[in-house]
Amino acid sequence: MLEVRGLAVHYGKALALEGVELEVPEHSLVSVIGPNGAGKTTLLRAISGLLRPSAGEVRFRGGVMNGIPAHRVTRAGLVHCPEGRRPFPEMSVADNLLLGAPLWPSAAEAQARLAEVLALFPRLLERQPQMAGTLSGGEQQMVALGRALMCRPRLLLLDEPSMGLAPRVVAEVFEAIGKIRAMGVTVLLVEQNVELALELSDAVAVLDHGQLVFRGTPAELVRDARLREVYLGVA
């Protein structure tokens, strides 16, 4: 579904990503892990059109995505839910969710998805008239996920959905991610919480200093003693 070939990104002269090769097959959940500053967020931003790669290609469902403005990447079904939740704080929860509604061919379909989202996060139901800025972190993450789902994603890029949340809420969020997969949405997940990520993933890639150092299944990663020590922090 998504193919990344030889992707490189520069910030000025500094190299942030180099030669990244990645595939995300349809209906799969692929995780990208790695230490802070490895370039995970940069990778997602380059895929979604927020950054212009200096080399390489991003193909999504056969079409080349690089050089296309971010809003058109979203409209193609490649939806990026960025790190830090970033709700529109002075808009109601309902308005946050409804932003994606025009991307559906009919109002009925948008309405159906809204119902799905509210079923997924029942807590948002009563929060709908509230300003998104007044919600708790967990609720804001739910808004962010729900809002992304409203954008009719075929592939969802999730950047650190667990960041800054209480463990109980993190579990809730990951449960939701599992359900999102079940809705037929492919997921590319960037996550610090490796343990949880690996549990859900079909495939995992390890990014370090802007380069992919591992690609394989979670089981293969766990078997690799060196990587396990460096990236999973378990000896």
Partner 1 sequence: MLADIVIFGTIWGAIYTILALGFTLIFGVARILNLAYGAMYLVASYLIYTLVTRFGMPAPVAWLLAVAATALAGMLLYRLFIFPLRDTLGRVLIVTAGMAIFLQEVAVLLYSTEPRYVPTLLPGSLEFLGVRITHQQLLTLVVAFALVALLHLFLERTRYGRELRAVAQDAEMASLMGIPVERTYLVAMGLSTALAAAAGALVAPFLTVSPEMGWSPLLVAFTVVVLGGLGSLWGTILAAFIVAYAEMFTAYLISPQLRDAATFAIMIGTLVFRPHGLFGKGIVE
Which residue among 79, 170, 185, 207 contacts partner 1 (CB under 8 A)? 79
Q: Does 155 bind partner 1 (CB under 8 A)?
A: no
Shortest distance, CB of residue 152 to partner 1, whole angstroms?
A: 8
What amino acid occupies position 179? Answer: K
- Site membership for partner 1, residue 75 (CB under 8 A): yes
Task: Tell me: does residue 187 bind partner 1 (CB under 8 A).
Answer: no
91 lines the binding site for partner 1 (CB under 8 A): yes
Structural contact between residues 201 and 31, judged by C-beta atoms closer than 8 angstroms: yes
CB 221 within 8 A of CB 228: yes
Decide if residue 230 touches partner 1 (CB under 8 A).
no
Report which DSSP code applies to 228: I
In whole angstroms, give the CA distance from residue 69 to residue 3: 18
Residue closer to partner 1 (CB basis): 91 or 222:
91
Return the beta strands (E) in the chain as ranges.
2-11, 14-24, 29-33, 55-60, 63-64, 78-81, 155-159, 186-190, 203-208, 211-216
Q: How is residue 198 written in tokens?
A: 């690996």
Least CB distance from residue 165 to partner 1, whole Å? 19
Sole binder of partner 1 in the list 68, 101, 213, 232 (CB under 8 A): 101
Binding site for partner 1 (CB under 8 A): 48, 50, 69-71, 74-75, 79-82, 86, 88-91, 95, 98-103, 147, 151
